[in-house]
Chain A
Amino acid sequence: MATPVANFKETPEEIAYELRAAEGAAWIGSRSLIGVGAFIYASLAFAYFYLRSANQAQLWRPHHVTAPTELGAAIFALSAATAALSMYGAYRFRRGSVVDWEVAGWMGLLLGALGFALQIYELTRLPFYPGSSGYASTFVGWGALNLVGLLGGCYWLETLLARSLRLRRAVAEDGGAANSTLPAARLFRASVEGCTVFWGFLAIVAVCFWALFYLV
Chain B
Amino acid sequence: MATAAPSAPQGGNSHDLRTIATIWVVLSIVGDLAFWFLAGPHIPPGRMSDQARGAQFDFNVLFVIALPVVILVWTYLGFAVIRWRASRPNADEAPVIVPPRTALRIQTSWIAITSVVVIGLFGFGTYELIAPAGAGGGEGPTPIWKPNTKTILPIQVIGQQWMWTYRYPSFGGFETTQLMVPKNTEIAFHVTSLDVVHDFWAYQLGVKADANPNEDDVAYVKPEQLGRFTVRCDELCGLWHGAMYSYGHVVAPTAFYHWATTTEQKLAANTKTLPPFAWTYTPGANGASGSLYPSNVDPYSKSSLYGSSTVKVKQYGASAAQS
Using Cβ atoms and an 8 Å threshold, which residues of chain B touch A65? 305
CA distance A129 to B303 in the complex (A): 12
Using Cβ atoms and an 8 Å threshold, which residues of chain A touch B297? 129
Question: Does B304 interact with chain A (Cβ within 8 Å)?
Answer: yes
Question: Does B313 interact with chain A (Cβ within 8 Å)?
Answer: yes
Given A56-B214, A57-B282, A57-B313, A128 contacting B292 (CB threshold 8 A): no
* A59 touching B308, Cβ below 8 Å: yes
Q: Which residues of chain B (272-323) have a CB below 8 Å from chain A? A: 282, 292-293, 297, 299, 304-308, 310-311, 313
Size class of the A contact interface (CB-based, 8 Å): 10 to 19
Size class of the B contact interface (CB-based, 8 Å): 10 to 19
A109 to chain B, nearest CB (A): 36
CA distance A65 to B297 in the complex (A): 18
Sample (23) of A-B pairs whose CB atoms are under 8 Å apart: A57-B282, A57-B311, A58-B308, A58-B310, A58-B311, A59-B308, A59-B311, A62-B311, A63-B304, A63-B308, A127-B305, A128-B305, A128-B306, A129-B293, A129-B297, A129-B299, A129-B306, A131-B292, A131-B299, A132-B305, A132-B306, A132-B307, A133-B307
Max count, chain B CB within 10 A of own CB: residue among A56, A58, A65, A132: A132
CA distance A127 to B304 in the complex (A): 10
Contact with B along A191-214 (1 / 0, CB 8 A): 000000000000000000000000
Using Cβ atoms and an 8 Å threshold, which residues of chain A touch B313? 57
* B307 touching A62, Cβ below 8 Å: yes
Using Cβ atoms and an 8 Å threshold, which residues of chain B touch A127? 305
Using Cβ atoms and an 8 Å threshold, which residues of chain A touch B307? 59, 62, 132-133
Using Cβ atoms and an 8 Å threshold, which residues of chain B touch A56? 214
Q: Which residues of chain A (50-71) have a CB below 8 Å from chain B? A: 56-59, 62-63, 65
B267 to chain A, nearest CB (A): 29
Top 3 nearest A-B pairs (CB, nearest first) are: A62-B308, A131-B292, A58-B311
Interface residues of B (CB under 8 A from A): 214, 282, 292-293, 297, 299, 304-308, 310-311, 313
CA distance A62 to B307 in the complex (A): 6
* A131 touching B282, Cβ below 8 Å: no
CA distance A58 to B312 in the complex (A): 10
CA distance A128 to B301 in the complex (A): 13
Using Cβ atoms and an 8 Å threshold, which residues of chain A touch B282? 57
Using Cβ atoms and an 8 Å threshold, which residues of chain A touch B214? 56-57
Max count, chain A CB within 10 A of own CB: residue among B282, B299, B307: B307
CA distance A58 to B292 in the complex (A): 18
B290 to chain A, nearest CB (A): 10
CA distance A133 to B303 in the complex (A): 13
Using Cβ atoms and an 8 Å threshold, which residues of chain A touch B292? 131
Contact with B along A131-142 (1 / 0, CB 8 A): 111000000000
CA distance A133 to B292 in the complex (A): 12
Residue of A nearest to B294 (CB): A129
Contact with B along A111-136 (1 / 0, CB 8 A): 00000000000000001110111000
Residue of A nearest to B297 (CB): A129
CA distance A129 to B306 in the complex (A): 7
Residue of B nearest to A132 (CB): B306
Using Cβ atoms and an 8 Å threshold, which residues of chain A touch B311? 57-59, 62
A131 to chain B, nearest CB (A): 5
CA distance A151 to B299 in the complex (A): 34
Extra contacts, 15 of them, besides A58-B310, A59-B308, A129-B297 (Cβ < 8 A), are A56-B214, A57-B282, A57-B313, A58-B308, A62-B307, A62-B311, A63-B304, A63-B308, A127-B305, A128-B305, A129-B305, A129-B306, A131-B292, A132-B299, A132-B305
CA distance A134 to B26 in the complex (A): 61
B320 to chain A, nearest CB (A): 18
Residue of B nearest to A63 (CB): B304
